[in-house]
Chains A and B, each alone.
Chain A
Amino acid sequence: MTALPTWAWRVADLEVRRLFSYRVDFWVSFVVSTGVQLLASYFLWLAVFEHTGRDTVGGYSFQALVYYSMMAPLFTRAVRGKEFGLISDEIYDGSLSRFLLYPIPMFGYKLTLHAAHVGMTSLQLLLGFAAYALTAGLPAGHTTSAGSIALGLSALLAASVLHFFLSLILEMVAFWAEGIWSLLVMLRFVTSFLGGGHIPLTLFPEQMQQAMAWLPFPYLVSFPLLCFQGEMGLADWAIGVGAIAAWSLIFGLIALRVWRKGTLQFTGVGM
């Protein structure tokens, strides 16, 4: 247990280096993705506001919606961390066997890899925020501060652990099924839309909003983003993080059970 920080730092360091071996891809992808998102959102919401003539839609002004539309995909991307290939590739090619022998816990190792990705994409998120704040300015009424940024990032970190367990469960379906890539894409679609990665959840019909409050998805994107924007007080933050912890515990236990079942029938020869 005392050795945990040493190997974890080393694993994270190696993963960051690996990520930066394609640093042009990493940054160009970030810049183009953010630019396209901004372009598509700005003109879409402009058309909506011009047609309706209203000052707000779903409680958001035009500037606030454009800002939300740019930040939400950055949060979605950050919370996903290492989205694909957490463990399924190793199940398919049989190299998972090493985790059954190495003195490193598999979940801890994979969570560290995931955290390295979350760290890097969170850095992009902060850069995107700074660039937007400096060029366009924050929407009127926004109370983003150093404190709210800290609350937002800590909520994001907690949400990324929840996403890790959701992804891990789907990846471990590889013990039984031959192709699980599509399951992860399904998770991406669902978390983006029901998590508030496309549009703020307050724009959804009232009944749907009530139903979604019972699901883990709003805690993945919308909740950290609202904390970041200063729309959640310390008490709301604590309740939200508590809910994330509860969901993480549930999915963590499911992941553990799936892992035990899966490894029992894992042959180690690959598929």
Chain B
Amino acid sequence: MLRYLRLYAAFVRFSFSKAMVFRLDFSFRIVMDLIYYAVNLAFYGVITSHSEQLAGWDSGQVRIFVSGYLLLDAIAMTLFSTNLWMFSKAVNTGELDYHLVRPVSSLFFLSLREFAANSFVNLLMAAGIMAWAIGSYSESFSAGRVILYLALILNGTLLYYVLQMLTAVPVFWTQSGMGLQGLFHQMARLMERPDGVFRGWSRKIVTIFVPFALMASFPARVLFSAEVDYGLLLHLAAVTAAFWGILLFVWARGLRAYSSASS
């Protein structure tokens, strides 16, 4: 474990050094994410200006929900999204060979070696937006509930990683440019809707089969509820564990199908 932490610290140091070489790009990316945050807040600002409530949430609760998925997105962008974008190239060019022979978990190395330094700055801003959204809300939350909320957002981030990786891994068989990651980013828009708007068959889809509602919306639901809904927590844990298991299985099968540089 310590060895992995030391390795990760080295990734972070290297990423910051690299980011400082390309300073203008570093600044552009920070502004880009700020615009993304502004657009998302404005989008729900416009919606809630026409409807006092959205799926049972008032404008303050919607703002907290939005800040939740912005934070999740910032964590994902900082930790693993860049790596997953490069994954298909590593498979198609045979670069994956070099990672497989290293004495560390190949999944760990491929998923986390590029720490996005610019996104880390945005992660701090996203955290600030969340602090503002929670702080400006008309009611206060207990510290325990906020900690649980943050833990569930981290769980949502893990689920986001697993789903993104599951759409990247098919490149072992398809050898296409990006695997199915384009589809992932299109489907990820479902994360940006409160789960309360979905009902019937659509609710089953976003809470079980492509569980984007579990990433930011369920955590917000836990934060707002008077009593902790243990059924909801169990659902979150079960779906996350199931998808993690599927990823490990598919990853093992993918490595078996990998034919090195010729793929």
Residues of A within 8 A of B (CB): 22, 25, 28-29, 32-33, 36-37, 39-40, 43-44, 46-48, 51-52, 57-58, 177-180, 182-183, 185-186, 189-190, 192-193, 198-199, 203-205
Contacts and interface: CB of A to CB of B under 8 A. Distances in A.
Interface string B11-54: 00000000000101100110110011001001100110111111
Interface centre among B176, B187, B196 (most CB of A within 10 A): B187
A39 B176 CA distance: 27
B186 A48 contact: no
A179 B28 contact: yes
Contacts of A28: 183
B111 to A, nearest CB: 22
B212 to A, nearest CB: 10
Given A25-B182, A179-B28, 17 more contacts: A36-B187, A40-B189, A40-B190, A40-B193, A43-B199, A43-B202, A44-B47, A46-B197, A47-B51, A47-B54, A48-B54, A51-B52, A178-B24, A185-B32, A186-B32, A189-B39, A198-B39
A199 B31 contact: no
A52 B43 contact: no
Contacts of A185: 32
5 contacts: A29-B186, A43-B202, A44-B47, A179-B24, A183-B32
A68 B19 CA distance: 41
Contact of B36 (A36, A180, A189): A189
A198 B43 contact: yes
A91 to B, nearest CB: 14
B202 A36 contact: no
Nearest to A177: B24
A24 to B, nearest CB: 8
Contacts of B50: 48, 52, 57-58, 203
Interface string B174-204: 0011100011001101101110111100100
B55 interface: yes
State the 7 A-B residue pairs at the shortest beta-carbon distance, nearest first: A179-B25, A182-B32, A182-B28, A47-B197, A43-B197, A48-B51, A33-B186
Interface centre among A52, A186, A192 (most CB of B within 10 A): A186
Contact of A39 (B24, B31, B52, B190): B190
A48 B177 CA distance: 39
Contacts of B176: 22, 25
Interface residues of B, number: 39
Interface centre among B24, B46, B55 (most CB of A within 10 A): B46
Contacts of B55: 47
A44 B29 CA distance: 30
Contacts of A192: 39
A51 B54 contact: yes
A80 to B, nearest CB: 15
Nearest to B45: A205
Contact of A182 (B25, B49, B182, B193): B25
B43 A193 contact: yes
A51 B58 CA distance: 11
A262 to B, nearest CB: 15
Nearest to A57: B50
B188 to A, nearest CB: 9
Contact of B39 (A40, A43, A193): A193
Interface centre among A32, A43, A189, A205 (most CB of B within 10 A): A43
Contact of A44 (B25, B28, B53, B193): B193
A39 B28 contact: no
A32 B32 contact: no
Given A185-B32, A189-B39, A179 B22 contact: yes
A37 B189 CA distance: 8
Given A40-B189, A190-B35, A51 B53 contact: yes
B25 to A, nearest CB: 3
Given A58-B50, A177-B24, A29 B43 contact: no
Contacts of A180: 25, 28
B25 A199 contact: no
B47 A48 contact: yes
A36 B35 contact: no
Contacts of B202: 39, 43
B43 A43 contact: no
B160 to A, nearest CB: 16
Nearest to B46: A203
Given A25-B176, A36-B187, A39-B202, A199 B46 contact: yes
A142 to B, nearest CB: 21
Given A51-B51, A193-B43, A36 B186 contact: yes
